């Protein structure tokens, strides 16, 4: 899944909570997601990214 999709999903989630968007936080979020994928042996799919965002 492309990083642009991940960024858009992250931004949409933050907009719903009326929070400011921090680019550094987005980069950190994607790095943490990639580590989470490796640790949990999962594929990079939209469904898994949604689960990751909800778990945060």
pLDDT value, residue 1: 61
What is the 3-state secondary structure of 14-54? HHHCCCCCCHHHHHHHHHHHHHHHHHHCCCCCHHHHHHHHH
What is the number of domains present in the chain? 1
Residues 6-32 have pLDDT tens digits of: 877 777 777 767 777 777 878 888 888
Q: 35 pLDDT exceeds 70? A: yes
- State the Cα–Cα distance between residues 26 and 6, nearest whole angstrom: 9
Q: How does residue 43 score in pLDDT terms, banded at 50, 70 and 90?
A: confident
Domain hosting residue 18, numbered range: 3-55
Report the mean per-residue pLDDT for the chain.
80
pTM assigned to the model:
0.65
Q: Which residues contact 50 (CB under 8 A, 6 or more apart)?
A: 9
**DSSP, res 2:** -
């Amino acid at each position: 899944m492309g990083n642009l999709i991940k960024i858009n999903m992250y931004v949409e989630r933050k907009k719903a909570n009326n929070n400011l968007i921090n680019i550094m936080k987005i980069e950190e979020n994607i790095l943490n997601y990639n580590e989470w994928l490796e640790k949990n042996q999962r594929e990079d799919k939209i469904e898994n990214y949604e689960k990751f965002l909800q778990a945060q």
